[in-house]
Structure 1
Amino acid sequence: MAEHNAATLNGRQSCPNIHVFGARETTAAAGYGSSSTFVNAILKAYPGSTSEAINYPAAGGDSYASSVQQGTQNIANQINAFNKQCPSAKLVVVGYSQGAQIGDNALCGGGDPNQGVTYTNSLISSSAASAIKAVIWAGNPRNSPAESSFHVGTCTAGGFDPRPSGFTCPSYQSKIRSYCDALDPYCCNGNNATTHQGYGNEYGSNALAFVKSKLG
């Protein structure tokens, strides 16, 4: 798996055609966590593509809010920095659980007051927003029935930090696939935590097909 960040590309004349960002779930060790199933599938399908993990605490418990705040900023900073370095590269964003939440916050804006994110603007530059071709969220705590246009799975309720009724993510509506099943206690109102860890196996092929449809 080819892994690069913006710093390692400084001075390089060539940039990848496709670059993938992966944000891990709560308490996962530094790296891609459960987002790796999706990230690796995309890298395998597009030889020469590169990837980078979002650097943020991914902390739980009393540190969850501060972790979300930092992650929301960091995912935006990394996406914007890479786009500035490689403006022609097509970008794919993958987020799992808290990793999806920080991506949702950064891309869609709207704030996340339950986690102390009070600003409502999207943090993604207009150039980077255009370069983002596909977004994969799995087990997103911000899941809401309002996001039905891009939701896949059996959940018909909201997560533990759902988007308010009527909220949309207008710049990315057609670019997002968000996976959540009814038994998931984090992106839905279920009681089976094992469901939350299964999206890579359950929906990996669906996600890859969606990404391919967006990348060409």
Structure 2
Amino acid sequence: MKASLFFLAASTALAAPLESVPPVVRSEVGAFPIAELEAYYNAAYSVKPEEADALHPTISKRQYNGDTFNQLTDGTPCRKVTLIWARGTTQSGNVGEAGSEGPVFFNALASRVGASNLAVQGVDYPANIFGFLAGGDSGGSTTMANLVARAVTQCPSTKIVLSGYSQGGQLVHNAAAKLTAAQTNRISAVLIFGDPFDGQRVGNIPASKVKIICHDGDNICDGGIIITADHRNYEQDAPAAAAFVAGLVA
């Protein structure tokens, strides 16, 4: 009975603020690699209006504008950097919708390291509330650790980045704890947005390789279960996150 009451209370607490907190408008501009966006603008303004439409597909193909990416498992050749990403609770696909924390961060990083040098691999897992309440979906945590193992063997020279948002941050912690010493040594950087385990170590990965971004007022980062506006706007931190990671994988 106590367990049932806990889940009922938790579900109610999680649902209530979503109705009372006004939606946060996401910045779509941040979803484009800056250098490519600048080149697109220059080209678009230098041609006749009727010719500008032909340029749209070009910039669209170069941005991470979808909710699913499998560049480690879909046959994409090994790249200099492999970013393994775990999305947050209820987010779509395996990285979250375009304009959300993941894709905006990917594009910010691509603008620094070069799009052709970055491979993004999402973690397939349910991303539901029950996984969050359990401390991170156990199956997803294992899947993330297995993806690291695959990157280590499949791409011996790639720089591996572990990253995630919200429950995805829990998966990063859990997956890191499952890695062998040799696999841990292959992790070049860790970046977590809105981390429910803020303040805890990420496996045995050195603190110098880890950056956790938590906003003041984010109850999830404080160990709570309330979704506030401060937990829903981490895409604004993509430039700083990309700068940190780029500095470790360059």
Task: Using structure 1 for the length normalisation, give the TM-score.
Answer: 0.72
Contact 1:18/1:50 (<8 A) preserved? yes
How many residue pairs match? The answer is 177
Q: How does 1:192-203 map to 2 (within 5 A)?
A: 193-201=228-236, 203=237
- The structure in which a higher percent of residues are helix is 2
Using a 3 Å threshold, how does the CA distance of structure 1 residues 171 and 61 change in structure 2: closer, same or farther?
Answer: closer
Between 1:192-201 and 1:95-104, the stretch displaced more is 192-201
Code of the residue aligned with 2:241 in structure 1: it is A
User: What is the distance in 1 between the residues matched to 2:88 and 2:230?
Assistant: 14
Using a 3 Å threshold, how does the CA distance of structure 1 residues 16 and 87 change in structure 2: closer, same or farther?
Answer: same
Q: How does 1:14-93 map to 2 (within 5 A)?
A: 14-33=77-96, 34-45=101-112, 46-48=114-116, 49-61=118-130, 64-65=133-134, 68-93=137-162
Gaps of 5+ in 2: 1-62
Which of residues 192, 199, 213 is equivalent to 2:247? 213
Using a 3 Å threshold, how does the CA distance of structure 1 residues 64 and 168 change in structure 2: closer, same or farther?
Answer: closer
Contact 1:17/1:88 (<8 A) preserved? yes
User: What is the distance in 1 between the residues matched to 2:203 and 2:134?
Assistant: 22
Gaps of 5+ in 1: 108-121, 145-162
C-alpha displacement of 1:5: 4.2
| % same residue | 27
Q: Could you say what the CA RMSD is over the residues aligned between the two structures, in angstroms?
A: 2.5
Check if 1:8 corresponds to 2:91: no
Q: Larger Cα Rg: Structure 1 or Structure 2? A: 2
Q: 1:146-171 CA deviation, whole Å, 9 max, x = no partner?
A: xxxxxxxxxxxxxxxxx4xxx67542
Code of the residue aligned with 1:193 in structure 2: it is T
Please state whether the residue corresponding to 1:213 is helix, strand or coil: helix
Task: Using structure 2 for the length normalisation, give the TM-score.
Answer: 0.63
Code of the residue aligned with 2:230 in structure 1: it is T
C-alpha displacement of 1:63: 7.5
Q: 1:190-215 CA deviation, whole Å, 9 max, x = no partner?
A: 866111011221x2121111112111
Please state whether the residue corresponding to 2:215 is helix, strand or coil: coil
Contact 1:137/1:179 (<8 A) preserved? yes
Q: 1:131-160 CA deviation, whole Å, 9 max, x = no partner?
A: 22111101111113xxxxxxxxxxxxxxxx
C-alpha displacement of 1:15: 1.7
Q: Tell me the equivalent position of 1:188.
A: 222
User: What is the distance in 2 between the residues matched to 1:58 and 1:168?
Assistant: 20
